[in-house]
């Protein structure tokens, strides 16, 4: 059969980071291809290149028998490839119809001027066709829920009648109804001999929806499995590169921690993101917080560190000090490792030394002065303790790999001897080796009686590491699991959706 | 490897530029450039800019521009003259520094509390300063006492320069005040989430810049002998161009070096002086300065990180 899309030896670098190396993939008409891999394996990079968001550094693509080099999202859409992005792809502050025809306001019309009336009418028709008649074209998209906004995007993508539709982890955030809608669209596309590239974390979903699945790991192509060879264990071991035995997590299944409550959050309310969340963290406890990305758990983590002021409620340290700013949190030796490493955690254009000592100046200053020698000693000592792979501490952090960057980010808080760690997705987008290092470190910190809150989107990691798991859903606590009860992934996911 | 090579070039470029200019002007001006009187003249001119630039480094390190310098200099001069009648010069110096810090604090508070870009707050000081001085200078003559002219010499300026540098250099390189500016300039978000009190340290930077501006304003008055309508005009651009020629990263951050204030000011005045000796028209010199500034920015500005949508 003639290939619809051929991706040949594609590579992509972001600065010093290699996001994809030498990846090839062929998609045939009428095929639903799954794309799977751990965070940071390159799935989104690959789909973004196909959809024209990123440009490949090296390689070639063939689409419908001709060379394919999309200049932009609009260009690829025109050529017949549409993308449903992972995050929201509508622009807040604009109306539904403006979003629907974004970048193509004059398409189909005779004039070069934008004819709002025509666009509104067309939008209304498109929405109605997709069973979204309750959405008004003139309304600001902000008025609608995440799910409705996502469905507007879906309608927009389908309206362009693409040859290939890329669905990048869209379904995880949708309700049952929304998911069914997308599955229906996939079935339609298949029937019309069109193709879908389907990205999801959910193995069950991949098994149900896809005809074949391509596995990526650390930016490398691993294998493509046809439907008859797809089974969960094979896929999982291909994803992590060895037999899955769960051994890099904690070996024990008992809940062990001290009695002392070290951090307490009471009735936290923040915009419409968090509705009355309370929690207690004990010494020597690893408290996992799970949920969907928009469940409010990332914001909760920032609130615990004092970086966001909640509208109501308070966060207190064990000596009853209220945490109102990152400075008060730091005085109590609280550490915060943000989810977004490059923009919130690191000083990319500074060297490793400056990054590591950034929170420790108070510890190393002598009579108010900070001497380069003490900076170097502290940075070297801390980097060595976590085995950061580097030339020396004067190397720019931007040159390091994702895993080593994360080590530097953690070093910043080991250097000032933090006692309480707030980790937001600490293993996001890093390779398995560094992941194992971080899990070991967490167990080490726990042994020393230090408390850890780990916000995570990965079920296995939450279950594998936490003494206790809190699940947030739509800004509320929807479930709690104890380690000794040995919760299953299914049980936990059910509380999230 | 790349980094070491690149940072080496960045390190020597300002010196190389200065040396190249000195050689070119020495060879092409029949010895007029290297004449002792001319050189002392250049140094004398550059010292005031150097002092103002020294404090301004703190502001630029955290990725802000201080546009208040020129108007601020005028405002400080006029107000301190009004307050002390120039009767007691040491007292006037102290008043200048206090008003300078005041100017810096106003700029910083508008920026931090009002969440308005600092350069806009600075421009507001600039306009106010110009307005106040022009108004006052039309209504009265503001001459310093005649005997103050004996201080208008390079040695006197040099003492101030040494004191300012002796305070600013360690403050910038070896204390939290300087370190924090550089972290904020590198990534304000990460700085905040690393426990840096971003607002507080920005305010401190503007206060330091204001203090050195106060000193610069005082020395300018001594040099001119009075408070004129045009006092301090163009200081903000002089300082900005000087720092850029001195190799300061325009977006601040950990690559910021305080030596930029020193080397850059000299380069800037060497350039202006040499072009004048060439007999270039004064207006043309502005154009050349503009081109040199743009070329420096073009060569030094780090654009790899920013995604320009054009």
ipTM of the complex: 0.90
For residue B309, pLDDT beyond 80: no
What range defines the domain where residue B82 resides? 2-300
Would residue B308 count as lying in a domain? Answer: no
Q: Is the CB of B176 less than 8 angstroms away from the CB of A361?
A: yes
Cα(A141)–Cα(A152) distance, integer angstroms? 9
Mean pLDDT comparison of B38-47, B141-150, B167-176, highest-scoring range: B167-176
Q: How many CB pairs under 8 A join A and B?
A: 79
Q: In whole numbers, what is the pLDDT of chain A averaged over residues?
A: 89
pLDDT in tens, A305-351: 999 999 999 999 999 999 999 999 999 999 999 998 888 999 988 99
Nearest CA in chain B to A329: B195
Q: Is the CB of A370 less than 8 angstroms away from the CB of B304?
A: no
Residues of chain B with C-beta less than 8 angstroms from the C-beta of A359 = 194-195
For residue A472, pLDDT beyond 50: yes
- Smallest Cα distance from A365 to chain B, Å: 8
Q: Do residues B66 and B206 lie in contact, with contact meaning Cβ atoms separated by under 8 Å?
A: yes
Q: pLDDT value at position A107?
A: 64
Would residue B309 count as lying in a domain? Answer: no
Would residue B146 count as lying in a domain? Answer: yes
Chain B contact for A68, CB < 8 A?
no
Chain B contact for A362, CB < 8 A?
yes
Residues of chain B with C-beta less than 8 angstroms from the C-beta of A368 = 175-176
Hey, do A5-240 and A261-496 end up sharing a CATH topology, with the first three levels equal? yes
Nearest CA in chain B to A338: B193
Q: Is the CB of A369 less than 8 angstroms away from the CB of B3?
A: no
Q: In whole numbers, what is the pLDDT of chain B averaged over residues?
A: 91
Would residue B125 count as lying in a domain? Answer: yes
Residue among A10, A46, A87 nearest A198 (CA): A46
pLDDT in tens, B204-233: 999 999 999 999 999 999 999 999 999 999
- Smallest Cα distance from A488 to chain B, Å: 34
Superfamily classification of domain A261-496: P-loop containing nucleotide triphosphate hydrolases (3.40.50.300)
For residue B300, pLDDT beyond 90: no
Q: Is the CB of A354 less than 8 angstroms away from the CB of B254?
A: yes
Nearest CA in chain A to B303: A349
Cα(B249)–Cα(B193) distance, integer angstroms? 23
Determine the average pLDDT of the residues in B22-38.
91
- Smallest Cα distance from B158 to chain A, Å: 26
Chain B contact for A414, CB < 8 A?
no
Residue of A347, A379, A395, A411 best to disrupt the B interface, most CBs of B under 10 A: A347
Q: Is the CB of B182 less than 8 angstroms away from the CB of A348?
A: no
pLDDT in tens, A61-93: 999 989 999 988 888 988 999 988 766 678 878
Q: Is the CB of B193 less than 8 angstroms away from the CB of A327?
A: no
Q: φ and ψ at B189, to 5 degrees?
A: -65, -50
% of chain B at pLDDT higher than 70 = 95
Cα dihedral angle (A472, A178, A198, A491), rounded to 10 degrees? 40
- CATH number for the domain spanning B245: value is 1.10.3470.10
Q: pLDDT value at position A174?
A: 75
Residue carrying the six token digits 């707030």:
A422
Cα(A353)–Cα(A332) distance, integer angstroms? 23
Q: φ and ψ at A306, to 5 degrees?
A: 85, 5
Cα(A115)–Cα(A496) distance, integer angstroms? 43
Would you tell me how many other CB atoms lie within 10 Å of the CB of residue B281?
Answer: 10
When CB atoms are compared, the residue of A15, A327, A347 closest to B254 is A347
Would residue B110 count as lying in a domain? Answer: yes
Helix axes B235-245, B282-300, angle to 10 degrees: 50
Strands (E), chain B: none
A141 vs B173, more confident: B173
When CB atoms are compared, the residue of B174, B183, B196 closest to A370 is B174
Would residue B159 count as lying in a domain? Answer: yes
Cα(B125)–Cα(A84) distance, integer angstroms? 49
Residues of chain A with C-beta less than 8 angstroms from the C-beta of B189 = 343-344
Would residue B310 count as lying in a domain? Answer: no
Q: Do residues A303 and A471 lie in contact, with contact meaning Cβ atoms separated by under 8 Å?
A: no
Q: pLDDT value at position B11?
A: 81
Residue among A438, A358, A376 nearest A403 (CA): A438
Residues of chain A with C-beta less than 8 angstroms from the C-beta of B61 = none
Q: Do residues B155 and B41 lie in contact, with contact meaning Cβ atoms separated by under 8 Å?
A: no
Cα(B301)–Cα(B310) distance, integer angstroms? 18
Determine the average pLDDT of the residues in A356-360.
95
When CB atoms are compared, the residue of B170, B195, B255 closest to A327 is B195
Chain B contact for A326, CB < 8 A?
yes
Q: pLDDT value at position A243?
A: 53
Sequence-distant (6+) residues with CB within 8 A of A185 are A154, A158, A165
How many domains does chain B divide into?
1
Burial category of B128 from C-beta neighbours within 10 Å (exposed 0-12, middle 13-18, buried 19 and up): middle
Residues of chain B with C-beta less than 8 angstroms from the C-beta of A399 = 3
Residue carrying the six token digits 């990305």:
A293
Q: pLDDT value at position A349?
A: 87
Q: Is the CB of B190 less than 8 angstroms away from the CB of A345?
A: yes
pLDDT in tens, B125-167: 999 999 999 999 999 889 999 888 899 889 999 999 999 999 9
For B2-39, give the secondary structure using H, E and C: HHHHHHHHHHHHHHHHHHHHHHHHHHHCCCCCCCHHHH
Chain B contact for A202, CB < 8 A?
no
Determine the average pLDDT of the residues in A125-146.
86
CA A456, A458, A463 angle in degrees (round to 5)? 90
Q: Is the CB of A343 less than 8 angstroms away from the CB of B182?
A: no
Residues of chain B with C-beta less than 8 angstroms from the C-beta of A345 = 190, 193
Would residue B136 count as lying in a domain? Answer: yes
For residue A424, pLDDT beyond 50: yes
Sequence-distant (6+) residues with CB within 8 A of B250 are B60, B244, B297, B300, B301
Would you list the domain boundaries of chain A? 5-240, 261-496
> If pLDDT is split at 50, 70 and 90, which confidence band does A110 have?
low
> If pLDDT is split at 50, 70 and 90, which confidence band does A117 have?
confident
When CB atoms are compared, the residue of A325, A350, A368 closest to B175 is A368
Q: Do residues A415 and A382 lie in contact, with contact meaning Cβ atoms separated by under 8 Å?
A: yes
Q: Do residues A471 and A495 lie in contact, with contact meaning Cβ atoms separated by under 8 Å?
A: yes
Q: Which two tokens stand for residue A55?
A: 């440009």
Q: Do residues A63 and A4 lie in contact, with contact meaning Cβ atoms separated by under 8 Å?
A: yes
- CATH level 2 (architecture), domain A5-240: 3-Layer(aba) Sandwich (3.40)
pLDDT in tens, B57-116: 999 999 999 999 999 999 999 999 999 988 899 999 999 999 999 999 999 999 999 999
Q: Do residues A306 and A315 lie in contact, with contact meaning Cβ atoms separated by under 8 Å?
A: yes
Q: What would you report as the CA-atom Rg of chain B, rounded to the nearest whole angstrom?
A: 19
């Amino acid at each position: 059969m003639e290939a619809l899309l051929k991706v040949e030896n594609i590579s992509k670098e972001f600065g010093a980071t290699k996001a994809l190396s030498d990846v090839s993939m062929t998609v045939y008409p009428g095929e639903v291809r799954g794309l799977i891999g751990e965070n940071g394996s390159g799935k989104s990079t690959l789909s973004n290149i196909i959809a024209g968001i990123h440009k490949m550094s090296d390689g070639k693509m063939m689409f419908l028998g001709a060379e394919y080099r999309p200049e932009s999202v609009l260009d690829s859409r025109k050529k017949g490839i549409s993308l449903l992005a992972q995050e929201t792809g509508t622009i807040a502050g604009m109306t539904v119809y403006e979003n629907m025809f974004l970048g193509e306001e004059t398409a189909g019309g005779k004039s070069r001027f934008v004819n709002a009336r025509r666009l509104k009418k067309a939008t209304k028709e498109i929405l109605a066709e997709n069973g979204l008649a309750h959405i008004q074209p003139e309304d600001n998209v902000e008025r609608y829920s995440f799910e409705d906004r996502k469905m507007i995007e879906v309608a927009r993508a389908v309206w362009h009648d693409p040859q290939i539709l890329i669905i990048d982890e869209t379904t995880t955030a949708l309700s049952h109804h929304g998911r069914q809608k997308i599955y229906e669209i996939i079935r339609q596309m298949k029937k019309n001999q069109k193709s879908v590239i389907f990205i999801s974390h959910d193995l069950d979903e991949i098994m149900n929806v896809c005809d074949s699945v391509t596995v990526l790991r650390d930016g490398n192509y691993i294998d493509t499995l046809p439907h008859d060879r797809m089974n969960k264990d094979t896929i999982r071991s291909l994803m992590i590169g060895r037999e899955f035995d769960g051994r890099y997590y904690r070996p024990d299944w008992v809940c062990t921690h001290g009695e002392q409550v070290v951090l307490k959050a009471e009735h936290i309310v923040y915009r419409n993101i968090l509705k009355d969340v309370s929690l207690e963290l004990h010494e020597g406890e690893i408290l996992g917080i799970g949920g969907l990305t928009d469940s409010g758990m990332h914001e909760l983590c920032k609130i615990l560190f004092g970086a966001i002021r909640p509208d109501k409620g308070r966060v207190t340290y064990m000596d009853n000090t209220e945490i109102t700013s990152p400075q008060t949190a730091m005085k109590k030796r609280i550490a915060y490792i943000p989810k977004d490493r490059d923009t919130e955690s690191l000083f990319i254009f500074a060297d490793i030394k400056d990054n590591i000592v950034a929170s420790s100046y108070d510890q190393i200053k002598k009579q108010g002065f900070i001497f380069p020698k003490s900076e170097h000693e502290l940075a070297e000592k801390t980097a060595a303790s976590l085995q950061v792979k580097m030339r020396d501490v004067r190397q720019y952090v931007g040159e390091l790999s994702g895993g080593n960057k994360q080590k530097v980010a953690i070093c910043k808080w080991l250097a000032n001897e933090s006692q309480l760690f707030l980790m937001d997705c600490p293993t996001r987008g890093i390779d398995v080796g560094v992941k194992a290092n971080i899990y070991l470190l967490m167990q080490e910190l726990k042994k020393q009686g230090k408390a850890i809150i780990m916000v995570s989107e990965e079920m296995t990691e939450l279950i594998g590491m936490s003494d206790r798991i809190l699940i947030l859903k739509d800004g509320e606590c929807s479930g709690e699991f104890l380690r000794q009860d040995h919760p299953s992934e299914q049980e936990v996911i059910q509380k999230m959706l | 490897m790349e980094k070491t090579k690149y940072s080496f070039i960045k390190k020597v470029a300002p010196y190389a530029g200065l040396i190249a200019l000195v050689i070119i002007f020495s060879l092409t001006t029949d010895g007029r450039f290297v004449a002792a009187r001319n050189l002392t003249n250049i140094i004398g001119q550059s010292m005031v800019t150097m002092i103002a630039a020294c404090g301004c480094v703190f502001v630029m390190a955290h990725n802000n521009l201080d546009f208040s310098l020129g108007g601020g200099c005028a405002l400080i001069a006029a107000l301190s003259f009004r307050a002390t009648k120039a009767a007691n010069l040491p007292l006037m110096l102290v008043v200048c520094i206090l008003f300078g810090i005041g100017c810096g604090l106003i700029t910083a508070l508008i920026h931090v509390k009002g969440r308005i870009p600092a350069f806009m707050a600075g421009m507001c000081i600039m306009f106010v300063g110009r307005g106040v001085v022009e108004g006052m200078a039309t209504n009265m003559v503001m001459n310093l006492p005649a005997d103050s002219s004996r201080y208008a010499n390079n040695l006197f300026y040099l003492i101030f320069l040494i004191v300012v540098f002796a305070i600013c250099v360690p403050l910038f390189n070896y204390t939290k005040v300087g370190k924090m500016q550089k972290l904020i300039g590198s990534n304000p978000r990460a700085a905040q989430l690393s426990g840096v009190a971003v607002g507080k340290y920005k305010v401190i930077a503007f206060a330091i810049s204001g203090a050195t501006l106060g000193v610069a304003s005082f020395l300018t008055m001594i040099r001119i002998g009075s408070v004129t309508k045009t006092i301090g005009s163009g200081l903000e651009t002089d300082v900005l161009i000087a720092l850029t020629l001195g190799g300061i990263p325009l977006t601040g951050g950990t690559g910021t070096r305080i030596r930029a204030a020193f080397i850059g000011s000299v380069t800037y005045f060497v350039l202006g002086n040499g072009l004048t000796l060439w007999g270039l028209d004064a207006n043309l010199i502005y154009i050349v300065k503009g081109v040199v500034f743009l070329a420096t920015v073009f060569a030094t500005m780090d654009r790899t990180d920013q995604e320009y949508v054009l």
